[in-house]
Amino acid sequence: MSDTRNIPDYLQVKDLDQEELSNIFAGSTITENLDDSGNQIIDMGTTDAQNNISVIKQNITIFSPDKIEQNYSTTFDEFLTETEEDDSLMVEDDIKQLSDDQLKRESVLSNQLDELSKILEIESQKNIKLQEDAESNYKAMKSVIIEQRIQNKEGESEDDFQDAFPFLPKNSPSSENTYNPLPYASEPT
């Protein structure tokens, strides 16, 4: 018998021809018993080593990653669970929805501020106009009353009368019961 140290222990059984087995491992050719479909036929009643050994030929295949990526995904996604993907999408959708809602609220508030500032400007202009009209009416009333008092010989010029309503002569004894000179306008503070 030849050297058996290259033969695995499970093949070192007495039923197999050990010398034939050593020759096979040394490089002798094996003729497999194959059927028409390419299946190996094993006869358990024989001690022929070639009957119990399958030949596996190693081929080195050179492949192109570009051609593989054209047909298959080369990224690992089998370890992702669907709930993880859905959660990340839901969180992203929630953040987008919150952001959109916030932008809508800010837009509404901005529009309200613009409208309120326009209304305030209009009202301010109305108040200024009202104040100017009140002051001009007051001055017109004052000049009419003073003219009447001059015609009644209570004084000779506008300087002879008080600045407050009822525009009495300055030497009049009831000069304490007078009104504010600008009853329709507010005093500056």
Report the alpha-carbon distance of residue 78 to residue 83 in Å, rounded: 13
- pLDDT-derived band at 81 (thresholds 50, 70, 90) equals low
Structure tokens at 22: 């050593």
- pLDDT-derived band at 108 (thresholds 50, 70, 90) equals very high
Return the bridge partners of 90, or none: none
Model confidence over 112-160: pLDDT tens digits?
999 999 999 998 888 888 888 888 888 888 888 888 888 888 888 888 8
Let me know: does 19 contact 2? Beta carbons within 8 Å.
Answer: yes
Whether pLDDT at 87 is above 70: no
Side chain identity at residue 80, one-letter code: L
Report the alpha-carbon distance of residue 132 to residue 181 in Å, rounded: 14
Cα distances (angstroms) measured from residue 19 to each of 45, 47, 108? 19, 12, 95
Let me know: does 168 contact 175? Beta carbons within 8 Å.
Answer: yes
